[in-house]
Amino acid sequence: MDVNSVYEAAYEAARQAIRDELGGEDVALSRRMIGGRVLFEDDQGREARAVGAEALFKKVTSVREKLRVLEQKLNNHDKLDAAEKAELQGYITRCYGSLTTFNFLFAEEDDKFRGTGS
């Protein structure tokens, strides 16, 4: 391994550790959604609400980060037995599955939500 490869690996490991510690990560909004909006219509086809794609993206990624924190706390909880942890983990996994609806917002495939089918 050459010096540049070692540097790149160490640099990326440090960046990932900082992101993990801060509870956030770099995720990008799909280019086609930048400046876009998500429309909600009522049963008559009238616009009930328009939400900027960037605002919706921030809310969706915020939910994901909160789920990740919950997952970490659950896994590190000392008063829950393995069966209880597995049951609660199942709910979190199903939440991720429900959020796959919003995968169109993400630029990178690796950032998209995955449910139990992935």
The span from the CA of 105 to the CA of 118, in Å, is 18
Q: Which residue, 63, 73, 74, 69, is CA-closest to 96?
A: 63
The span from the CA of 81 to the CA of 67, in Å, is 20
What is the average pLDDT score of the chain? 86
* Domain assignment of residue 52, yes or no: yes
* Domain assignment of residue 118, yes or no: no
* Domain assignment of residue 94, yes or no: yes
The mean pLDDT of 8-17, rounded to a whole number, is: 66
The mean pLDDT of 65-88, rounded to a whole number, is: 93
Residue 118, both tokens: 């992935």
- What pLDDT sits at residue 14? 64
* Domain assignment of residue 14, yes or no: no
Q: Which residue, 86, 59, 63, is CA-closest to 74?
A: 86
- What pLDDT sits at residue 114? 87
Q: Is residue 93's pLDDT more than 80? A: yes
The span from the CA of 29 to the CA of 87, in Å, is 32
Q: List, as one string, the DSSP characters of the chain.
A: --HHHHHHHHHHHHHHHHHHHHT-----B-GGGTT-EEEEE-TTS-EEEEEEHHHHHHHHHHHHHHHHHHHHHHHH-SSS-HHHHHHHHHHHHHHHHHGGGGGGGBSSGGGS---TT-
* Domain assignment of residue 40, yes or no: yes
Q: Is the pTM of this model over 0.75?
A: no
- What pLDDT sits at residue 17? 61
Number of domains forming the structure of the chain: 1
Identify the domain containing residue 105 by its residue range.
Answer: 28-111
